[in-house]
Structure 1
Amino acid sequence: MLNRRHFRVKVMQTIYAMHRHESDSLDTEEKFLFQSIENSQDLYLVMLSIFNELQLKEKAYLELASKKHLATKEEQNPNFKFVNNSFFKILGTHTAFFDKVKERKIDNWKRNDDCIIFLLESIKTSDLYKRYMAVETSEFKKDIFFIYDVFNEIIAPNEKLYDYLEDYKITWVDDIPVINTLLSKQIKSIKSFDDSIELPVVFKDLDDKEFVRNLFRKTVLNELEFATAFENKTPNWDKERIAELDTIILKMAICELLKFPSIPVKVTLNEYLEIAKEYSTPKSSIFINGILDNLVKDFQAENKINKAGRGLL
């Protein structure tokens, strides 16, 4: 579900938090690191469960409205096209999804149904919904496209939803775009009732999990050594002038260059430059790029970079 860049960001944030809290407990911080990664699966379940709650909320509303003493003609004969959408039917029979929701105790929308009501109203007042409901007949393909558009145009960009997710679990902030992209692709890929939604796993294999553990531990345990390596390349910079996040990014990059023989040099350089662009100061990527370029040349001249496999330099 998460890619290696996302794992690198999680490690970076954990090391930054260690520095902020002046913590020296590797075990405690490593536990927090893996928990923050596991939490991304909970976010996926929370986002997917929105659809189930939307259907239940609208179905309950239509049934209640039809029983009102002074129900209108429209309320007496409600249009169930939305609640009978093919996507809802597929999700409603997804036993593994409901088992996982129960296992992970995902009940966010039961305790915060105001968010679901707000999303439902946003959907029902949209032109997208009005066009969909105006056509009496239902088609599987159009049902899926409708849900796909609803998710991308109304649910995913909703600020109230984003604020709730951010407040509920701060580690989700960086996960939201990844989870939204994954869900969007999954919805679009559904072609028939025989299709299901594959629940993603956090780590695609043991190598990913070991990568996270090793990157975290090897960076933290060798921080002084790595700091010395790049401080010698910054004679005109006082330590206080270098952003703390930049120093962490540099240490992690050096760690990969020296301690991870299976990761190509170019991959390491590209990954950390992109992370610097997104998470540090505007000039950080230029600064980090210059330092790493010089370090790579020195490490190669000193035969410190030993990569296993062809084409890894």
Structure 2
Amino acid sequence: MINRRHIRVKVMQSVYAMAQSKNDDLVREEKFLKHSILKMFDLYVLNLQLLVEVQKFASKKIALSKKKILATQEDLKPNTKFIDNTLINTIAESISIESYLEVNKLNNWSLDNEYVKIIFDDLVTSDLYKKYLATEEQSFKEDKAFVLAFFKEIIAPNEKLADYYEDTLITWVDDIPFINTWVVKSLSKQKESKPFILGALYKDKDDEDFVSNLFRKTVLKQAEYQKEIEEKTPNWEADRIAGIDMILIKMAITEFVNFPSIPTRVTINEYIEISKDYSTSKSSYFINGVLDKISKEFIANKKIVKIGRGLI
């Protein structure tokens, strides 16, 4: 499921896009934001289904080899350990994945099956695959360990696949690392003899509402927050402050004032970490300094009111 950190990133991107395009259609931009989050689930499911499609490809290769006129002993009696992998078979039998693919018409691996072959070729030439086929142990534990390694070492870092995802949907560029982590967690949690069931996109209704509330309140209060920031940075002209930094500070102020259950220090730390990935090398220090000043003033003026102990 999507976490608060990635929700903040998606909101940041939407606020930035609005600023760059000078578009003030809040409703349309919010719809696009929510759509981009929903499409993350497509990417998650496609990655899981890719494991199944590579296994199917391997099965077809074995079937064709058996039909050779001059079939070798290896062709006639192939090692079927990969196509018998219990975890991948569990994913292949998942009703929730099958239903999601059908309802959302996700037929990417049928239309663009060359990527299935790319991953298959990388797999069968790897030491990981050779060692897996060579071991005599047959257990769900071993199968799961292999699938996790297969995903982490071959699928996740594949540049051609990443380029394909980026060409399919531009917003997936920043989602790929998060989705890869999500897939690994899902595979790791899977239990033997249990059906594979897709989880929810959001942890709960609060997280879903957090998307809209953070986005709307940040956009609607931008001018007001701009003044607060300018007052705390007298030695900086507004146009000298990195655009992403300005947006992250405004989002943090939104959280200070409008989300009483989120501790102030948690908010500051979250935006410092996001700035390390999306802004300049010195942004984290700048953001920390500005937010520290603003939070102390807001607490003194009772603009920040948190619910519960230890939330300030």
**TM-score if structure 2 supplies the norm length?**
0.96
Instruction: Say if 1:231 and 1:164 are closer, same or farther in 2 by CA, change over 3 A.
Output: same
Does the 8 Å CA contact 2:88/2:147 hold for their aligned counterparts?
no
5 Å-filtered alignment, 1:134-173, equals 134-136=134-136, 138-173=138-173
1:15 paired with 2:31, answer no
1:72, distance to aligned residue in structure 2 (A): 2.8
Cα distance in 1 for residues equivalent to 2:231 and 2:157: 45
Q: Cα distance 1:292–1:63, how it changes in 2: closer, same or farther (>3 A)? A: same
Distance 1:215 1:128 in 2: 44
C-alpha contact (below 8 Å) 1:5/1:271 kept by paired residues: yes
Partners of 1:252 and 1:191 lie apart in 2 by 39
* Corresponding residue number in structure 2 for 1:6: 6
Residue aligning to 1:251: 250
Query: Any residues of structure 2 matched to 1:110-189 within 5 Å, and which?
Result: 110-136=110-136, 138-189=138-189
Is it true that 1:209 corresponds to 2:208 in the alignment?
yes
Do the aligned partners of 1:41 and 1:201 also contact (CA within 8 Å) in 2? no
Between 1:17-26 and 1:197-206, the stretch displaced more is: 197-206
Quote the residue 1:26 is aligned against. 26
- What is the letter of the counterpart of residue 223 of structure 2? L
Residues in 1 aligned to 2:94 and 2:213: alpha-carbon distance in whole angstroms: 36
Change (3 A) 1:205 1:188: closer
Amino acid at match of 1:236: N
Q: How many residues align?
A: 312
Q: Report the AA paired with residue 50 of structure 1.
A: L
Partner of 1:263: 262
Query: RMSD in angstroms over aligned alpha carbons?
Result: 1.4
Q: Which residue of 2 aligns with 1:278?
A: 277
Residue deviations 1:131-170 (CA, integer Å, cap 9, x gap): 1112356333222211121111111111211121122112
Residues 186-236 of structure 1: per-residue CA shift (max 9 Å, x gap)? 2233342x2233312111211111111111111111100000001011111
1:308 alignment counterpart: 307
Q: Partners of 2:195 and 2:138 in 1: how far apart?
A: 20
Instruction: State yes or no: 1:241 paired with 2:212.
Output: no
Q: Which residue of 1 aligns with 2:293?
A: 294
The range that moved more, 261-270 or 173-182, is 173-182
Residues in 2 aligned to 1:258 and 1:154: alpha-carbon distance in whole angstroms: 45
The separation in 2 between residues aligned to 1:191 and 1:15, in whole angstroms, is: 40
Report the equivalent of 1:48: 48
Task: Please tell me whether the aligned partners of residues 186 and 197 of structure 1 are also in contact (alpha carbons under 8 angstroms).
Answer: no
Gaps of 5+ in 2: none
Tell me the distance in 2 between the aligned counterparts of 1:113 and 1:10.
30
| Per-residue deviation, 1:15 | 0.5
- Structure 1: state its 5+ residue gaps: none
Q: In structure 1, what is the Cα distance between the partners aligned to 2:101 and 2:16? A: 32
Structural mapping, 1:63-78, within 5 Å: 63-78=63-78
Cα distance in structure 2, aligned partners of 1:278 and 1:131: 37
Structure 1 length-normalised TM:
0.95
Shift of 1:303: 1.8
CA contact (8 A) 1:144 1:188 kept: yes
Note the C-alpha offset of 1:21.
1.2
Give the AA of the match of 1:201.
A
Distance in 2, matches of 1:210 and 1:132, equals 45
> Which amino acid is the alignment partner of residue 239 of structure 2?
E
> Residues of 2 paired with 1:74 and 1:14: CA distance?
55
Task: Give 1:19 deviation, angstroms.
Answer: 0.9
Counterpart of 2:22 in structure 1: which amino acid? E
Which range is displaced more, 127-136 or 206-215?
127-136
Counterpart residue number, 1:104: 104
Which residue number in structure 2 is paired with residue 83 of structure 1?
83
Q: Which moved more, 1:253-262 or 1:24-33?
A: 253-262
